Chains A and B, each alone.
Chain A
Amino acid sequence: MDLVISLSLGFIGIVLINNLVFTKFLGCCPYLGVSGRLDMAFGMGLAVTFVTTLAGTLTWLIDHLFLIPCGLEVTRYVCYILVIAGAVQLVEMYLRKFFPPLYESFGIFLPLITTNCVILGLCLFLNIWGIKNFLEAVVLSFGAGIGFTMAICIMAGIRETLEDADIPECLKGAPITLITAGLLTLGFMGFAGMIK
């Protein structure tokens, strides 16, 4: 029971309080680049969630079962990036086989998930936070993906509405998106301290 409670709190923590987009500034490039459409944002978010769960768990396992016991921490970053690239390749093959229209609509974004900061950032933060428990690593990886999906969907929804607003010419596009993101960050700061 304690384990379930601590896992749930960890999940809520990474989705709301330590959201990787709003507090750690990860994933800003797709955040701005993804079109202002809600359905594409949601699809991208789901793909990222799948990759984060897979990559986060695998890198944690490799770290604890192989790199640390053999004293090979120097190769950590190279290993992480190889695992992430492999996971993205898997997702790409799966989508191309079973959901061709979705694969077409993603275009260049899918391979770009490899260079998405969220995934490598998550693996690094799992390392920095010293997560010792395998289940916790899985839950946090999944939560990070869900947090990113939530952030990107909120942003897509706001951008869809912003298209009809009267924005000054020089602020159209990226500037107003960044300012909106800043205000969203301010809103999410209200969750800080929610979990002791």
Chain B
Amino acid sequence: MAENQPTIVSTLRGGLWDEIPVLRLMLGLCPTLAVTTGVRAAMTMGLSVIFVLICSNVVVSLMRNLLKPHLRIMVFTLTIATFVTIADLYLKAFMPDMSDKLGAYIPLIIVNCIIIARAESCASKCGMLISAVDGFAMGLGFTIVLCFLASIRELLATGKLFDIAIMPDAFVPVAAMAMPVGAFVTLGLMLGAVNFLSKKKS
């Protein structure tokens, strides 16, 4: 095996800070904008992505010596589609309200660039354990970003988080935050803040 295989610690750090999905890797923006109207929806989406990431990373890593180069994207996509079907059926059965709210965005996990990118850059090259840890770390990073964005939007749009009123009574809710405008502008400002902080560091 190669000498410079990533370690578990470096994989965890990568997923949670250095290469955190939405803010650094700039992938997976569609669900970030779409499901972050509320923290509950964001968490459900995040947990589904963690499940699909770990499962697909493990399966691709087990298959990695059998992949033909020009067919590999198709194989990745089919594997991911299978696990997303499982996740979708689970949500439809046990959390029907959340499934209705998330609508088409759960099946859209299939084309979420993060999962295919991780399958391509990590799972097809590393062993099963590292791939699983990578899937977990990337998924966790993604969930953290989603929940952060969702909490900002939910707080400003309704003054409440998880139905607990946080803002004072005199607060006028910013309805724009619940609409697409709020999503795009907040994410743009968050990315700008991340750029600013990394420039300051270096």
Q: Which residues of A contact B (CB under 8 A)?
A: 22-29, 32, 74-78, 81-82, 85, 111, 114-117, 120-121, 124-125, 128, 168-171, 174-179, 181-183, 185-186, 189
Contacts and interface: CB of A to CB of B under 8 A. Distances in A.
Given A32-B29, A175-B188, A182 B183 contact: yes
Interface of B: 26-27, 29-30, 33-34, 73-74, 77-78, 81-82, 84-85, 88-89, 103-104, 107-108, 110-111, 113, 116, 176, 179-185, 187-189, 191-193, 195-196, 199
Contacts of B187: 178
A74 B104 contact: no
B30 A25 contact: yes
Contact of B34 (A25, A32, A78, A120): A25
Contacts of B199: 169-170
Max chain B C-beta neighbours (<10 A), residue from A115, A174, A189:
A115
Contacts of B77: 81, 85, 114-115
A118 B199 CA distance: 34
Query: Nearest 7 A-B pairs (CB), nearest first?
Result: A182-B184, A178-B188, A170-B196, A175-B192, A179-B188, A182-B185, A124-B104
Contacts, number: 120
20 contacts: A24-B34, A29-B30, A32-B26, A76-B85, A77-B84, A81-B81, A115-B116, A121-B30, A124-B108, A128-B104, A170-B192, A176-B188, A176-B192, A178-B187, A178-B188, A179-B185, A182-B185, A183-B181, A186-B176, A189-B180
A4 B71 CA distance: 42
Contacts of B89: 74
Contacts of A26: 30, 108
Nearest to B115: A115
B90 to A, nearest CB: 13
Contacts of A77: 81, 84-85, 88, 107, 110
Point out which of A81, A182, A189 has the most chain B C-beta atoms below 10 A from its C-beta.
A182
Contacts of A22: 180
Given A29-B29, A182-B181, A128 B103 contact: yes
A171 B83 CA distance: 37
A175 B195 contact: yes
Contacts of A81: 77-78, 81, 110-111
A177 B185 CA distance: 9
Contacts of A171: 188, 192, 195
A54 to B, nearest CB: 17
B110 A120 contact: yes
Nearest to A115: B111
Given A81-B78, A117-B108, A175-B195, A189 B34 contact: no
A185 B85 CA distance: 31
A25 B32 CA distance: 9
Contacts of A111: 73
